[in-house]
Amino acid sequence: MHIQFLNPDDRNQWQILWNGYLEFYKSELPDDITNLTWNRLHDPLEPMYAFGAYENGKLIGFAHVLLQRSTWAKNGYAYLEDLFVDPNIRGKGTGSELIKAVYDFADEKQLDRVYWATQADNPARRLYDKYANESGFVQYRRK
Ligand SMILES: CC(C)(COP(=O)(O)OP(=O)(O)OC[C@H]1O[C@@H](n2cnc3c(N)ncnc32)[C@H](O)[C@@H]1OP(=O)(O)O)[C@@H](O)C(=O)NCCC(=O)NCCS
């Protein structure tokens, strides 16, 4: 298994995982939003990046990252918005490798923070606790 930037040719494989991710969150997105997101993830003018975990050429997971300015720091932050691994291949370190790849990417860019949010009861927190500290902040949303 290795991690690399998501290959723009792998839209079909990504779509299957993306559908699984939306299902995990019991969510649906209009196709035009999914298309927009896919295109932005591959647009060099957009501050959005996608990493893919590949096993024998097959896409088995992804991490999507957004770069942000900050009023509190010089180089800004990376927001890890989406993380997903094929349910059949979980527990083998793929999620860990994706997080580490995001950390390496952030270090290369000398970013000041990598952060993400998750639901309080997500079992993935056991994984996250190995790599980061829970901030104590509570997220509020208008919509
Ligand atoms: C979170 C996720 C990406 C982890 O991928 P992974 O390849 O299984 O991660 P790893 O193999 O590196 O780490 C597994 C660890 O994560 C924890 N974990 C994460 N999700 C888990 C789950 N659903 N059930 C049990 N443990 C889970 C365990 O502590 C496990 O550690 P262990 O093997 O020492 O028990 C994957 O479970 C997933 O896609 N979950 C659904 C989507 C999701 O929750 N995304 C994150 C949204 S914030």
The domain limits of the chain are 2-131
Chain segment 64-89, per-residue pLDDT in tens:
999 999 999 999 999 999 999 999 99
pLDDT for 39:
98
pLDDT for 46:
98
- Mean pLDDT across the chain, nearest whole number? 98
The SS3 assignment for 67 reads strand
pLDDT for 18:
98
Chain segment 32-42, per-residue pLDDT in tens:
999 999 999 99
Residue 103: which residues within 8 A CB-CB, separation 6 or more? 114, 131
Q: Which CATH superfamily is domain 2-131 in?
A: Gcn5-related N-acetyltransferase (GNAT) (3.40.630.30)
* Triad 50, 42, 132: Cα angle to 5°: 20
42 lines ligand 1 (CB under 6 A): no
118 lines ligand 1 (CB under 6 A): yes
Residue 134: which residues within 8 A CB-CB, separation 6 or more? 125, 128
Measured in Å, residue 121 CA sits from the centre of ligand 1 at 13
101 lines ligand 1 (CB under 6 A): no
The whole-number average pLDDT for the span 12-18 is 98
